[in-house]
Chains A and B, each alone.
Chain A
Amino acid sequence: MTVDLGTDYLGLQLRSPIVASASPLTGELDTARRLEEAGAAAIVLPSLFEEEILNEEIELNRSLEAGAEQFAEALDYFPAVGAFAGAGDRYVSRLEQIKRRASIPVIASVNATSEGGWIRYARRLQDAGADALELNVYRVAADPTTNATDTEAADLGLIAAVRAAVTIPLAIKLSPYYSAFANFAKRVVECGADGLVLFNRFYQPDLDLETLDVVNRVELSRPWELRLPLLWIAVLRPQLGPGVALAATSGIHSGTDALKALMVGADVAMMTSALLRNGPEHLRIVESELRASMADHEYESVAQLRGSASQGKVADPAAFERANYMKTLHSWSTPSDLTAGAVP
C-alpha cells in the first residue's frame, strides 16, 4: 500500500516527518546536500553558540594583540587585520550557501544563554533565509542562589525577546530539567513559540583516566533515550493541542523509533546520532523502515497515525506518568536498554 509521509512542522509542509537535526552533517554544504538527497524533509543547522562567538572574538583579538607594544623591534606580530568574520558571520554565510542549494526547509539554530546579541543574530538568520528558527535553551542551573522561578522567568524572557525579533516560525528546544515541565512548556508556547523540540542532550563532562583531565566528549545517543521524548510528547500533545508543533529528538535511530514518536504526537522525528554513525544515506533506510512499519500496521498517512498513542488516547494514560516509572523498575525481564533508560 502507498503511505503518505507528508507532515506539517511549524507551518512548513514537509515531504516526510524525518528531519536531520543539528549536527556537523547539516552544517557542511556537501553533507547537507547528501542529507537532502537521502530524503531528509528538512535540516536543522548546527547550533550557533553564544559562547563560541564571544570566546572566539575575544581570543582572536587577544592573540592578535599579544606581545604588541612591548619591544621596539616588534611592535606587533600580525599584519593589520581590520575585519574578520566571527563565528556568527560565518554561520550566517553558511546558512545562505546551504539555503541557496537546498530545496527543503532549512532551520537555523541558536544556543543562547542571554538576550544580548541574540536578537540581532535571530534577525540576521531570518534575513539570511532561514525557514524557521530553533532556539536552544541550554542551561545548567548550578547556581544555588537562583531558584526555579527565576530560572524559568529568565528563559521565558529570552524566548519572548527572540519571538519579538523574528517573524519566521520559532521552535524552542528544551532540556527536560524543569521541575514542572508541562506548566513550563505551556508558558513557552504562551510566549509565542510555534513548537517545541524535545529534548536537547547535555554533553556532560567526562573524565580521561589517563590524563585525569575533565574532557568534553560527544556521546552519541542510544535508542533508549527516545523514552523521555516519548513520555513528554505523549503528555503534551493533548495539552498543547494540534496547533503547536512538536518534534521528537534524542534516540531516534530507526523507522520504528520515528513511528513511535509520531504515534505519541510528534510532527517530526529528528535524527543526529544514527546519521553520524552511519552516514547521511542512512536516512533512506529509516524512511523505508517507517514506510514498512506503517504499512505493516496499515497506517495510510502520518496524519492518521500522529498522536494516536498520545496520553489522551491510550487506554491507560497513567502509563505515561509515574506509574509507568514504577512498573519499569520492577520489570527486570524487560530489555536492558529499557531499564537503563528508566534510571533517572
Chain B
Amino acid sequence: MGIGPMDQQWECLDGNEAAARVAYALSEVISIYPITPASPMAEHCDDWAAARRPNLWGKVPDVVEMQSEGGAAGAMHGALQKGAFATTFTASQGLLLMIPNMFKIAGELTPAVIHVAARTIATHALSIFGDHSDVMHARSTGWAMLAAGSVQEAHDFALVAHAATLRSRVPFMHFFDGFRTSHEINKIAVLGEDDLRALVRDDDVLAFRSRGLTPEAPAVRGTAQNPDVFFQAREASNPFYLALPGIVKEVMDELGERTGRHYGLVDYHGAPDADRVIIVMGSAAGAVEETVDTLVAAGERVGLLRMRLFQPFPTSEILAALPSTVRAIAVLDRTKEPGAVGEPLYLEMVAALAEQMDDDVPPFAVAPRVIGGRYGLSSKEMTPSMIKPIFDELGSDRPKRHFTVGIYDDVTHLSLPIATGFDQPRPTGEVQALFFGLGSDGTVGANKASVKIIGEGTDLFVQGYFVYDSKKSGSVTVSHLRFGPEAIRSTYLIDGADFVACHQFGLLTKVDVLEHAKLGATLLLNSPYGPDEVWERLPGAVRRGLVEKAIDLWIIDAFAVADEVGMGNRINTVMQPCFFRLSGVLPAEEAITRIKESVTKTYAKRGEAVVARNFAAIDRSLERLSRIPLGAPGKAEVIVSPAATDPREFVSRITAALIAGQGDQLPVSALPVDGTFPTGTTKYEKRAIAQQIPVWDAAICIDCGKCAMVCPHATIRMKVFPDSAVDEAPADFKSKEFRSRDLLNHRLTVQVAPDDCTGCGVCVDVCPAKSKTEVGHKAINMEPVEVHRDLERPRWDFFQTIPALDRSLLPHDTVKGSQVLEPLFEFSGACAGCGETPYLKLVSQLFGDRMIVANATGCSSIYGANLPTTPWTVNAQGRGPAWSNSLFEDNAEFGLGMRLALDAQADHARILLTRLASAVGDELVRGLLESTQGTEAEIALQRDRVSRLRERLAGVKGEGRSDAQHLLALAGDLVRYGIWIIGGDGWAYDIGFGGLDHVLSSGRNVNVLVLDTEVYSNTGGQASKATPRAAVAKFAAAGKATGKKDLGAIARAYGNVFVAQVSMGGNDAQTTKALLEAAAWPGPSLVIAYSTCIAHGIDMSKSMTHQKDAVKSGYWPLYRFHPSEIEDGQPFKLDSQAPSIPVADFMATETRFAVLQRTQPERAAELADLAQADADERWRYYEQLASMHRSVPHLGHAGKANPVAGGVSPDERRDEKGADA
C-alpha cells in the first residue's frame, strides 16, 4: 500500500547520517577506519554503539576500529565468512586499500555493503573533496555499484543495497558524492524499522547465515586454483550478475510501494520528445534536472537520464528509458582516466549503445551521437550555467567528442564555456540565505540548528551546505541555506541570495559578501560600530555594492551582546534570531521559541548555565537590531595581495590569485602540470586573525628564548645581532643587551609578526620572567591587537631586515642557541596553539637548510602544504627544506626511498669525482671525499667545496664532459642531507606501522619524527593505538579500555635505533638535545614528540603547561635511548624526574579524560586506576632500563664495508657525523 508524504516522518540529516542509520540497523559487525568525508558514518555508529542502540535484530553491533582500511576490509571479510552482517564506510585511498578484499568478497558471492562518500583519489595533489575517481577505480572488483544523488537517496539506497545484496549474493558499493551529499543537510522522509524489516527478508537472512563457516558443517573457501578450473569457476558466477538488475528493481519497487518514493535503475526526466539528453550519476543530476526543466519550459527538447545502478550496467533499462527521438547524448563522468578513450560511464554507454544498435531490433533508427565530458573533479561546482552549454554543444553540428565543464582549459581546449547570462529561475516562495562567519564564532552550528528548526518545525523543505577554508585556525566559513515549499534539487552553491549575513565585520575587507546577493536583498551585519558610525566605517567597495544592489542593511553589535551574557565570542545565538526576524521564514515569536527549544535540546542535559546564557543572548538580540539607511557610495579601493610583490612570477600571479580566493577563475595553463609548488608563501597571507598579540617588554626579558621556541606559528622571533645592526632602526624599535660571555657587543630583540600571529598565547604561558613591581606582568604579554598592530608592523618590517646571526657563533644545543636560528617553517594554518608545529619549527631551525621531508598525510601534511600557501620556506641563501607527501600508509617507506636515492646519488657522485680527479684537482677531490661533515661548520666547508667543484666542472671539455655534466647534476648530494620522516600517531602507530617498523629495522640513516597527539587529529580526533587508556575519543566514545602502545619500546628492541621520547613543554632542552642526537645518529632514529592537540579538550594557550604536567605525573616520561657499542654502555637515559603528581591530577585537567568521569563515572574510575598503574609500571620498567647495559652488535672495527649502507659501514658513517652542533 502506498503512502503519501504527510504520513511520513521527516527529519533533517546529512547524507552520512542518512546512510549510517540504515547501515547500523542492518549490521552486526562494523569495522571502521577514519577517512574524510566518510568518517562521520563510522563516528555515528561508534556513538550509537556506545549508547547501546540495538540493530534491527536487537543486538548492539560490534563497532571495531582497525589499523587501516585494508584492515577494516579484512575484518569485514572475516565477519562475512562467518555469516555475520558486516559493513564499513570509506572513501578515496581508503577504498583503494579495500580493493584486494573486495575482489575476494565478490568472488565468494558474499552479501556485503560498503558505503562510500566518494572522494578524489590523490594524484598530483591530495584532495578531500568529492568525485568518483575512487569508486570508478574499484569498478572491476565485481561489486554492484549503486549511486545515490541526494540525502534522501543516500538513506533509501542504503536500504536498497543491504536488501539487494542479501537477495542477490552480490556485494554492493553504495556511494554518494563526498561533501555535496555526505555533508549536505536536507529534509528527508526517514525509513522506519518496518520498512527495513519488510525489505530485508528473513529468508535471505537465514540463507546468508547458513553459508557461514562452521565446524558443524565444515567447508573450505579461498582455495588456490590452477589453470584447469579457475577460469570456469570465475564464469560460474555470471547468472548472479545477470539477475542483479532485476533484483535491484524489485527492491526499489517494494520500497516505492511502502514509501511512495519510486526509483528506477535509471530514470528519465525531461521532454518526452527530447533530441538531446545528458546522462549523469550522483548529485549533479539535481542541477541537471533543474536546468532541463528550465530549458523544456523554454521550448527546448532536452532531457536527463539519471543513472542509479552503474554496475552491472543496466543497458536495456537505459535504452528503454531514452526517448526514441534522441539524436545526441552527453555522458558526464566525475572522474578522469588519463590516456583512456573516455571515462567509464561514457565508455560503458558507447559500448552498450553499439551493441544494441547491432541487435536485431535496434533501439534507434539512427544511432545517437555520444560525447563524453568530465565535470566536478574535487567538488568543483556543477551549476545550471555549466549544464546549459552541454545541451548547446549537443545541438551543434560537430560537438566536441570529449569536453570538460566548469573550468577554462586553454591548453587542450576541451572546456565548454560557462553560460554566464543563463538565469536559472528559483521556485516561488524559496529563500536563499548566505552566512559569512569565522569557524570559532558558532555561525555554522547555529545554521545547522536553523535548518533543523525550519525543516522539522514547518512544512518547508530545507537544504544546508557549508563551505570551510583551508586553514585550521581563523578559518572563514560560508553557510548556504535554502528554504522553500518544494523539495530542493539545487546541488550547488547559492548565487542569488535573498538574505546575506556577515557575522564578522573584518570579513568585509577580505570577502566580497555581496557578490552573490540579489538586487534588493537583506544584509545583516555584525558591527562593532553603531548606527551613526557604521556607514563611514564600511569599506568603499561594500558601500558601493550596497547602493548598487539597493540592499536593505541591518546591523547589530553581536559581540557586545555575547559579552554581556558571558558567551565570549560565540555570537551564534545573537545572530540567529535576527536572521529569523529579517528573513521572515518563521514568525518572530515562534522563531524565538523554537531557537530556545533547540538550545535546550542541545545543552539542557549538560547543565543549565550554558542554556541560561544562550537564552539571555536570544532575549537581548532583537532589541539591538537596527536598520541603516544607505548613504553615499564610496570609492572601491583596490586591495593588492602582498604575494603580488614576490619576485617569483608564479607566486605574484598564481599564488596571489589563490590567496584572493580567485582559484576558480584560473585557466588550466596557470597550474603546474606535476603538482610542484614554490615554498615560502604563507608569509603573504597576513590573515590578521589575532584579537590579542604578544608584546615584548625588553626590560624584563632574560634572553631565554622559550617564547620563540614554543610559538606554533613562528610569529614570535628572537634575533641576536651586533650593536650596529640597529643603527638605522625606527626610533621605537626595541632591543636589549644580549647577555653572553662569549658574544659581546650584541643585542637581542624578541619581535612579534602582528599580522601572522594567531593570538594563541602559548608564548606568554611559558615566559618565566616576571616584573619585580607587578607580578602579573611578564617579559611578554598579550595585549589588544588594535592598540599594538600599527606599532608592531614597522618593527616587524625592520626586524626582518636584520641579517640572521652567523650560525657558528652560538651552540645549538640550548633553547637560547636554537632560537637564534632562523625558522624555515613559519605561519602555518595549524590550529592556534598547535602542539605539533613547534617541533617542526625547531627541526627546521636546526637542520632546515639540509633536510628532505617525507611527510605522512595528516595534520602536518595539511598545515604543511594545503594550498594556497606553504609554511616551509628558505633562508637568505635560498636553501630550505624540500618536502613531499606520498600517502598516509607508506610514509616511512617513502622516506627510506629518499635515503636510498640520496645514498645512491652520493655514491655515484663519488665515483664520478674519482674519475674526474685530474680535471677537478686532487686536493678538492680529496677534500670532498674525506670530509666527515660532522659539524655544521664542516658542512659549510663542504658546500664551499661543492661550489668550487661546480665551477671547475663547468669548464670540463672533451672526454670527461659527459661525466662532468652528470656530476654537476649530482654534486649537491655530496653535502650531508638529512632525511626526515614526519607524521602523526595515526600513521606511525597504526596505518603506517608495518612500514615504519621495517624502515627502522633497515639500519639506514633516516630520522623519524612522530608528532604524537594520541589521536587522529586531522580527521577530527579518532582513537589510534597511541590513544591512552581512559581517554574518550571518536571510535572510543566509551573511553579507550586498552593502554597506549609503547612505540619506543618496539623500536628500542632493535638495539641500533636511536629512540627518544620528548615533550617540549616538559623539557625544552631535552627536546633540542634529542633532535640533535637523532640527526647525528648514523642509523635510524625515532623521536616521539608529545603534541598537545585541540582534541585533548584543553585550553590551548596552556598547551605547554599540560605537557609539563604530563611529564611531572609520569604519564609521559622523557628518555633518550642512544645505542652504544661499548660493552658496558647504558644506552637508556631517563631524562625526567620521578613522578611528583598523580596521573589523575593531570587527567583531571583534560576534557578527553574528564568527560568520561562525567558520563560513566564508574568506568572512568576503573580506567583511571589502570592509567595510574600504567604510568607506575612504565616508570618502574624504565628505571630498570636506565640501569641496563646493552651493546649494539657491530663488526668491531672500521673499514669493513656494509653492503646495505651505500658502501659505507655504520662505523664509518658514525665517524663521519659525530655531533651535529
> Considering the complex, which residues of chain B in the window 451-472 have a beta carbon less than 8 Å from any beta carbon of chain A?
466, 468, 471-472
Residues of chain A contacted by B439 (CB below 8 angstroms): 67-71
Please give, as numbers and ranges, the residues of chain A lying within 8 Å of B1152 by CB-CB distance.
Answer: 78
What chain B residues lie within 8 Å of A242 (beta carbons)?
none
Query: In the assembly, what is the distance between CA of A83 and CA of B606, in Å?
Result: 5
Return the CB mask of B918-929 against A: 1 if under 8 Å, else 0: 000000000000
B1009-1036 vs A, Cβ < 8 Å mask (1 yes, 0 no)? 0000000011111000000000011111
Question: Can you sample 15 A-B contacts with CB below 8 Å?
Answer: A64-B1097, A64-B1155, A74-B1021, A77-B1094, A78-B1021, A78-B1033, A78-B1034, A81-B606, A83-B606, A84-B605, A84-B606, A84-B1158, A84-B1159, A85-B1158, A86-B607
Which A residues between 84 and 102 are near B, CB-CB below 8 angstroms? 84-86, 88, 90, 93
Interface set, chain A 19-62, CB cutoff 8 A to B: 53-54, 56-58, 60-61
Contact A78 B1155 (CB under 8 A): yes
Do A73 and B862 touch (CB < 8 A)?
yes
- Let me know if B43 and A79 touch, CB within 8 A: yes
Q: Which residues of B contact A56 (CB under 8 A)?
A: 607
Note all chain B residues with C-beta closer than 8 A to A82: 51, 605
> Which among B473, B566, B775, B1151 has the highest number of chain A CB atoms within 10 Å?
B1151
CB <8 Å contact, A67 and B831:
yes
Q: Which of B47, B473, B1095, B1097 contacts A80 (CB 8 A)?
A: B47
Interfacial chain A residues near B1154, Cβ < 8 Å? 60
Q: How far is the CA of A85 from the CA of B443 in the complex (A)?
A: 27
* Min distance, Cβ B1130 to any Cβ of chain A, angstroms: 33
Residue of B128, B1018, B1097 touching A63 (CB-CB under 8 A): B1097
Is A142 part of the binding interface, using a Cβ–Cβ cutoff of 8 Å?
no
Q: Is B179 an interface residue (CB 8 A)?
A: yes
Question: Closest CB of chain B to A228's CB: distance in Å?
Answer: 31
B325, CB-defined interface residue at 8 Å: no
Q: Which residues of B contact A65 (CB under 8 A)?
A: 445
In the complex, A291→B1007 CA distance in Å?
Answer: 73
The 5 closest A-B CB pairs, nearest first, are A70-B439, A83-B605, A57-B607, A74-B1020, A79-B1037
Q: Which of B37, B47, B606, B1035 is the most central at the interface, judged by chain A CB atoms within 10 Å of its CB?
A: B606
A-chain residues with CB within 8 Å of residue B1032 when the two chains form the complex: 78-79, 81
A82 and B1020 CA atoms in complex are apart in Å by: 18
Whether A213 is near chain B, meaning CB under 8 Å from some CB there, is yes
* CB within 8 Å of A: which B417-468 residues: 439-440, 442-445, 466, 468
- Any chain B CB within 8 A of the CB of A117? yes
Contact indicator B775/A212 (Cβ below 8 Å): yes
Q: How far is the CA of A72 from the CA of B35 in the complex (A)?
A: 12
Residue B246 is within 8 A (CB to CB) of chain A in the complex: no
Is residue B477 contacting chain A, with contact meaning CB distance below 8 A? Answer: yes
List, in ascending order, chain B residues with CB within 8 A of A115's CB.
none
A contact residues, total (Cβ < 8 Å): 39
Contact (Cβ within 8 A) A73 B1019: yes
Which residue of B179, B440, B603, B606 is within 8 Å of A70 (Cβ)? B440
Q: Check if B36 sits within 8 Å of A72, measured CB to CB.
A: yes
Any chain B CB within 8 A of the CB of A66? yes
With A54-B609, A60-B1158, A79-B47 known to touch, is A71 a contact of B1033 (CB < 8 Å)?
no
Residues in A whose Cβ lies below 8 Å from that of B605: 82-84
Distance of A74 Cα from B466 Cα, bound (Å):
13
Closest residue on chain B to residue A50 by CB atoms: B609
* Residue A75 at the chain B interface, CB threshold 8 Å: yes
Query: In the complex, are the beta carbons of A74 and B1158 less than 8 A apart?
Result: no
Across the interface, do A69 and B1017 meet the contact criterion of CB distance under 8 Å?
A: no
Q: How far is the CA of A218 from the CA of B995 in the complex (A)?
A: 52
B804 within 8 A of A: no
CB-defined contacts of B473 to chain A, threshold 8 Å: 70
Contact across chains for B1159 and A83 when beta carbons are under 8 A apart: yes
- Supply 20 further A-B pairs (C-beta < 8 A) apart from A63-B1098, A67-B1094: A57-B606, A57-B609, A58-B609, A63-B1097, A67-B831, A67-B1095, A69-B445, A70-B440, A73-B1018, A74-B1018, A74-B1019, A74-B1021, A75-B1020, A76-B1021, A78-B1151, A79-B46, A80-B43, A84-B1158, A85-B1158, A90-B1158
Q: Which of B590-643 contact A (CB under 8 A)?
A: 603, 605-610, 613
- Cβ B472 vs Cβ A78 within 8 A: no
Residue B770 lies at the interface, judged by CB distance under 8 Å to chain A:
yes
- Given A71-B472, A72-B468, residue A77 in contact with residue B179 (CB < 8 A): no
Q: A73 to chain B: which residues have CB within 8 Å?
A: 36-37, 128, 862, 1018-1020
In this assembly, does B661 line the interface, its C-beta being within 8 Å of a C-beta of chain A? Answer: no
Cβ–Cβ contact A85 & B1159, under 8 A? yes
Q: Is A214 an interface residue (CB 8 A)?
A: yes
Residues on A with beta carbons closer than 8 Å to the beta carbon of B1159: 81, 83-85
CB contacts (< 8 Å) of A67 on chain B: these are 439, 472, 831, 1094-1095
CA distance A68 to B1024 in the complex (A): 20
Contact A79 B607 (CB under 8 A): no
B471, B477, B1095: the one within 8 Å of A77 (CB)? B1095
CA distance A259 to B46 in the complex (A): 61
Is the beta-carbon distance between A86 and B606 smaller than 8 angstroms?
yes
Known: A60-B1151, A77-B1020, A78-B1032. A69 touches B609 (CB 8 A): no
State the CA gap A283–B473 with chains docked (Å): 56
Chain A residue with the shortest CB-CB distance to B1021: A77
- For B651-672 the 0/1 string (1 means CB < 8 A from A) is 0000000000000000000000
Contacts known (A63-B1097, A79-B1037); A86 close to B128, Cβ less than 8 A: no
Nearest chain A residue, comparing its CB with the CB of B1019: A73
B475 at the interface (CB under 8 A from A): yes
CB-based contact A70/B472 at 8 Å? yes
Within 8 A of B (CB), among A179-238: 207, 212-214
Among B86-133, those with CB < 8 Å from A are 128-129
Interface contact B610-A57, CB-CB below 8 Å: yes
A117 and B608 contact, Cβ closer than 8 Å, known pairs A63-B1151, A66-B1094, A70-B473:
yes
> In whole Å, how far is A119's beta carbon from the nearest beta carbon of chain B?
12
B1149-1173: which have CB < 8 Å to A?
A: 1151-1152, 1154-1155, 1158-1159, 1161
Could you tell me if B1033 and A79 are in contact, using CB atoms closer than 8 angstroms? yes
A79 touching B1018, Cβ below 8 Å? no
Q: Point out which of A53, A71, A93 has the most chain B C-beta atoms below 10 A from its C-beta.
A: A71
Chain A residues, CB < 8 A from B128: 72-73
Report B832 CB to chain A, min CB distance, Å: 9
Using CB atoms, name the residue of chain A closest to B1150. Answer: A63
Instruction: Give Cα distance in the complex from A214 to B770, angstroms.
Output: 13
Min CB–CB distance B819 → chain A (angstroms) = 22
Chain B residues with CB under 8 Å of A71's CB are: 439, 468, 471-472, 475
A88 nearest in chain B by CB position: B607
When C-beta atoms are compared, the residue in chain B nearest to A72 turns out to be B468
Contacts of B1017 in A (CB 8 A): 74, 77
Whether B1219 sits at the interface, judged by CB under 8 Å, is no
Give the nearest-CB partner of B1100 in chain A. Answer: A66
B603 contacts across to A, CB distance below 8 A? 61
Give the distance in Å from the alpha carbon of A34 to the alpha carbon of B1154 in the complex: 28
463-512 of chain B: CB within 8 A of chain A: 466, 468, 471-473, 475, 477
- What's the least CB distance linking B474 to chain A, in Å? 8
Interface string of B231-249 (1 = CB under 8 A from A): 0000000000000000000
For window 1028-1060 of chain B, which residues contact chain A by CB distance below 8 Å?
A: 1032-1037
Chain B residues with CB under 8 Å of A90's CB are: 1158, 1161
What is the CA–CA distance of A95 and B1038 in the complex, to the nearest angstrom? 25
Query: What residues on A are CB-neighbors of B770 within 8 Å?
Result: 212
Residue of A nearest to B604 (CB): A83
Interface 1/0 per residue, A146-165 and B, CB below 8 Å: 00000000000000000000
A19 CB to closest chain B CB (Å) equals: 27
Question: Which of B36, B440, B609, B1033 is in CB contact (< 8 Å) with A53?
Answer: B609
Complex Cα distance, B1161 from A88, in Å, reads: 14
Within the complex, the shortest CB–CB distance from A217 to chain B, in Å, comes to 15
Confirm or deny: B50 has a beta carbon within 8 angstroms of a beta carbon on chain A.
yes
- Per the bound structure, the CA–CA distance linking A78 and B36 in Å amounts to 16
